[in-house]
Copies of this chain bind each other. A is one copy, B any other.
Amino acid sequence: MKEFTEVQIKTLEEIILHRRDVRGNRFLDKKVPQDVLDKIVYAGVNAPSVGFSQPWEFVLIDDQEVKKKVKASFDKENKKGGNQFEGEKADKYKQLKLEGIIEAPINMAVFYKPSNSPTLGQTTIEEAGVYSVVCAIQNMWLMARALNVGLGWVSIIDPNKVKKILNAPDDRQLIGYLCLGYVDKFYDNPELERLNWEKRKDTSDVVKFNGY
């Protein structure tokens, strides 16, 4: 049985702690080699999946025209999103750079592909299929960081617009839209913590024992 060492456990912890959500102002105009992208996707396809259904699809995007269309959806949704905040937060929101669609050399749209027959483990909780795709994204996020590639997850876009832009079949569901590329630096802390947008929670407040 493969056992991991103290040093290896520490390595995983460091990768987890140094992973950041990267925005456009950090990406470098530097090509990400195909073998690096392959390693990232390999981490994704080796994620857990309900009933070993592997219900994921990855669309790699380097076409600036495609990116521009996605960026247009972001701009629209971001304006609507910003309007939901009031006072100081509304002002702060406008100053935030929340995506790197154009700046990142590679974008990746990650889709959920539902099965047309029953999937083991998904018979009660239908969302378990989508959760598998999120596990794949998190594996890729960690692998990207280990490879010193920044990744930013853009969630302020209309999933159906992106589906249309990418000609995705009707049954597909966009789960994540990711921006990938080398960066000038990774921050030590999450950007929204650094900017005092949100505070870090105490772990003791989110852990319970045997019930609420």
Contacts and interface: CB of A to CB of B under 8 A. Distances in A.
Interface residues of A, number: 99
Contact of A166 (B84, B185, B211): B211
Interface string A64-107: 00100000000001001100110000000100101000000000
B13 A39 contact: yes
Identical subunits present: 2
A157 B58 CA distance: 30
A189 to B, nearest CB: 10
21 contacts: A12-B142, A16-B46, A17-B46, A47-B138, A51-B192, A51-B197, A52-B193, A52-B197, A52-B198, A59-B209, A62-B210, A80-B124, A123-B156, A124-B155, A124-B156, A125-B157, A125-B159, A127-B130, A134-B138, A135-B141, A167-B211
Interface of A: 1-4, 8-9, 11-19, 21, 39, 41-43, 45-48, 50-54, 56-63, 66, 77, 80-81, 84-85, 93, 96, 98, 118, 120-125, 127-128, 130-131, 134-135, 137-139, 141-143, 145-148, 153, 155-159, 165-169, 175-176, 185-186, 190, 192-193, 197-198, 200-201, 203, 206-212
